[in-house]
Amino acid sequence: MEGLVPKNLKNLAVAGLLTVSATAWSPVLPARAQEADVATLVKELRGESPSATRTPEQLTTAYTQVLTSLLPDLNSDDLKKQGVAQDTWERIALRAGRPGAEAERLAASKVMLTQVGTAAPQAVRLWMLKQLENIGRAEAVPTLTGLLNDQDPLVKERARRALQNNPAPEAAQALRTALNDATTPEWRVALINALGYRRDAASVNDLSRLLTTNDANVQAAAVAALSKIGGPAALRSLGTLRAQASPQLRQSVADAQLLIAEQLLAQGRKAQAGAIYQSLYAPTETRRNRIAALRGLVAVRGENAVPLLSQVWSGDDAQMSEIASTFIDLVPGTGMTRALDTLLPKLPTAGQATLIGALGNRGDVTAKPVIIRALQSQDDAVRIAALRALSNLGGAADVALLARMAATTIGPESNTARSTLARLQGQDVNDAMVAALNGADPKTRVELIRGLTARRAPKSLPALLKSAGDTDENVRVEAIKSLGTLGDDTTVATLVGLLAKAPSDAQRDAAQQSLKDIIDRSGNKAADAAPILIALPGTQPPVHIALLSLLGKVGGAAALDTVRAATRDTNADVQDAAVHTLADWSDPSAAPELLQMARTADKPNFQIIALRGYVRLANVGNRPAGEKIKMYQDSLDLAKRPDEKKLVLGELANLNSMDALNLVQTYLTDDAVKEEAASAAVRIGKNMGDSVGTDVKPVMEKVIATSKNGDVVKQANEVLNKIKK
């Protein structure tokens, strides 16, 4: 026997029957023919192993034995044990309640019902009621009904929920009886909510009687419950109440009527729904009710709602007009579009703009002629609304028109036309834009190129390369800019040629920026360097300078040699550009050259630029911390101005070693940078985390004695406190 029972039951007498009395509770259930190993049985009842075929009596025995083994932990003060036991039984109960397993469900439910009496601990009672909420049926109603009067409020509420979710008709009757017997408003509200949740039509009369109560919460709950139940009887009761209700309750009743109307509409009962909406659209109603009712009337009437909407759009209420325009989506088909085509010219311009926007959002392409005509309006807002609408309704046929409008209008209208051109739908739009480049005036060609760029149209690259040689400079510049977005490594040589031969600063600058953009995303920077190096010799200073900056982007030994030589160029501007290029170099290979320049350059500003570039490169690549500190030490030795010292101290503050801290502390006596050194020392100490040792203490004490910054001193003390611990 001992081997068949879990350890937590070794001291229990499992041979007897559990008795739930008013005086004592025992966690032992009836044990008929003992099942085999409980752990195996748990797996079976959870569906984790094949199930045996059992009679109802055997099922009761199986659930009894498993629950017996779990009861001590279900009532345990150890929350972990309790949670495991709860999860185990919940899985078993949910599986028992699966479709087609009625015998298992009934057996599990009856076993749980033995554990909800007053003699059982609260934790066990509540957990059993929670599971009965999921799988209980008619067999649970008598016990649950009795618990509606339980002295424990948590048990009482859990029993109410279990009845609320119990599909048996007897459960609804029990809740109605309890509602009629309820003595407190709070309990009435809870029971009303349960009946509303069940959508129990048989409860309408009981709920309607509560509409005249003096308690506002009970009234509101009854109104909400009737709105969920719906039906003619509920509507009549709500209508009677609304005529005499307070303003606050009147709105709750209106909300309930609207909810019922939505239910009727979903059921296809349009006449009944329409009557409710019409009553709530009266001029005396609140704006909130009128808006909701108008939406409902449009949904009910369909295309026949146009006269009603026309009244709104023609009125002076701009907000209502805008809201009403969104309701046309409720009417599918082209009939609404045709009706609006006739109506549009009769509306004020504000109403036209609003309605055009709604037509665009609706996506009915038959509205496109209406939109095209609106582009001829004398009103700016109407034209802009029409341009926006074309984003959804337009296509390849509208490319030329939109590009021309983007080119010939100004301000918001031009920007909207440009945006719409970029957003047009359809596979053939890009082809139409490329085709339109031929024969269009220069301003329109510029807009077409902008549109192709915004649309990320890679197949347009040949046309854009051709446009980069256009006779009009604005077209050339725009096409060159577009190559930076749509081009790739294969475009670099062409762009270098365009830069080298650029007849204007604008074209050269555009080519330089496009090359930078391509190089930034390139996967083969070495290949990108070749055409730049080939083009560089013999170029004029402006071109030479532009190409040098590009070499800094691509990097590599050949590029570095070329830029190093340029630092000794006879042209001062080229020299300056070369030094700046080295300082911005993309990889660590320029560090030795920058260090040498910081030491020996003839011009002080070159020394400063080189030193700053050297400090930056200390963080480029995966340098060991010791190597970084050496570079920072060299930089501090060469720094002649406080600005550069502060720069290095700021970088040292990101490290977490004693070597870095020792280097920083030497500057705590330098009046020009002592505050920066103190801040860096504290940050390093904090970066060291739990590894901070006693050797940090004298440095922090020196910071406290030196710094005038209260926040830095506070943080230094925090580091000291960490050392003491």
Domains delineated in the chain: 1-136 (no CATH), 624-725 (1.25.10)
**Lowest-confidence range among 8-22, 59-73, 86-100, 454-468?**
8-22
Query: CA-CA distance, 92 to 110, in Å (whole number)?
Result: 14
* Mean pLDDT (whole number) for 629-640: 95
For the chain, give the mean pLDDT.
Answer: 90
Q: Are 72 and 9 in contact (CB under 8 A)?
A: yes
Lowest-pLDDT choice from 27-31, 285-289, 599-603: 27-31
Mean of the pLDDT values across residues 41-59?
89
Helices and strands, counts by H and E, the chain: 41, 0
Residue 422: pLDDT band (50, 70, 90) is very high
Mean pLDDT of 301-325: 86
pLDDT at 28: 53
pLDDT reported for residue 339: 78
Residues 19-44 have a mean pLDDT of 58
Per-residue pLDDT at 725: 60
- How far is 542 from 112, CA to CA, in rounded Å? 90
Q: Return the pLDDT at 542.
A: 95
26: confidence class by pLDDT, cuts 50, 70, 90: low
Over the stretch 221-237, which tens digit does the pLDDT of each residue have? Answer: 999 999 999 988 999 89
What is the model's pLDDT at position 186?
Answer: 96
Q: Name which of 652, 667, 644, 641 is nearest 618 in CA terms.
A: 652
Residue 413 pLDDT exceeds 90: yes
pLDDT, position 36: 47
Greater model confidence, 355 or 503: 503
Q: Which amino acid is at 426?
A: G
**Stretch among 23-32, 64-73, 599-608 having the lowest mean pLDDT:** 23-32
Residue 332 vs residue 99, higher pLDDT: 99
Q: State residue 381's pLDDT score.
A: 94
Confidence of residue 334 (pLDDT cuts 50, 70, 90): confident
**CA quadruple 697, 702, 704, 705: dihedral sign:** positive
Pairs from 386-389 (Cβ < 8 Å, separation ≥ 24): 386/356, 387/413, 387/416, 387/417, 387/420, 388/357, 388/360, 388/416, 388/420, 389/356, 389/357, 389/359, 389/360, 389/361
- pLDDT for the residue numbered 8: 36
How is the chain split among helix, strand and coil, in percent rounded to 5?
75, 0, 25
pLDDT of the residue at 668: 95
For the segment 703-723, the average pLDDT, to the nearest whole number, is 93
The per-residue pLDDT for 18 is 36
Residue 17 scores a pLDDT above 70: no
CA separation for the pair 133, 117 (Å, rounded)? 16
DSSP-based three-state secondary structure for 191: helix
Identify the residue whose tokens are 């943080």: 715
Pick the closest to residue 525 from 538, 515, 513 (CA basis).
515
pLDDT reported for residue 361:
86
pLDDT at residue number 25: 60
Tokens matching residue 127: 């957990």
State the sign of the Cα–Cα–Cα–Cα dihedral 80, 85, 91, 93. Answer: negative
Inform me whether the pLDDT recorded for 502 exceeds 60: yes
Question: Up-side HSE of residue 88: CA atoms within 13 Å toward CB?
Answer: 22
CA 262 from chain center: how many Å? 30
b or e along 374-403 (b: 16 or more beta carbons within 10 Å of the residue's beta carbon)?
A: bbebeeebbbbbbbbbbbbbbbbebbbbbb
Q: Are 147 and 113 in contact (CB under 8 A)?
A: no
DSSP annotation of 244 reads T
54: which 2 tokens?
């059992």
Structure tokens at 32: 């008929």
Q: How confident is the model at residue 328 (pLDDT cuts 50, 70, 90)?
A: confident
pLDDT of residue 718 exceeding 80: yes
Could you tell me how many residues make up the chain? 725
What is the rounded end-to-end Cα distance, in angstroms, of the chain?
56
What's the pLDDT tens digit per position in 472-493?
999 999 999 999 999 999 999 9
Cα 490 from chain centroid (whole Å): 39
Given pLDDT bands bounded at 50, 70 and 90, which one contains residue 244? confident
Do 674 and 668 meet the contact criterion of CB atoms below 8 Å apart? Answer: yes
Q: How far apart are CA 289 and CA 242, in angstroms?
A: 13
Q: How far apart are CA 169 and CA 506, in angstroms?
A: 83
CB within 8 A of 75, min separation 6: which ones? Answer: 27, 82, 121, 123, 124
User: What percent of the chain stands above pLDDT 90?
Assistant: 75
DSSP three-state, residue 348:
coil
Structure tokens given for 176: 């109605």
pLDDT digits 0-9 by tens, 543-576: 999 999 999 999 999 999 999 999 999 999 999 9
Least reliable range by pLDDT among 201-205, 244-248, 516-520: 244-248
CA distance linking residue 62 with residue 108, whole number of Å: 9
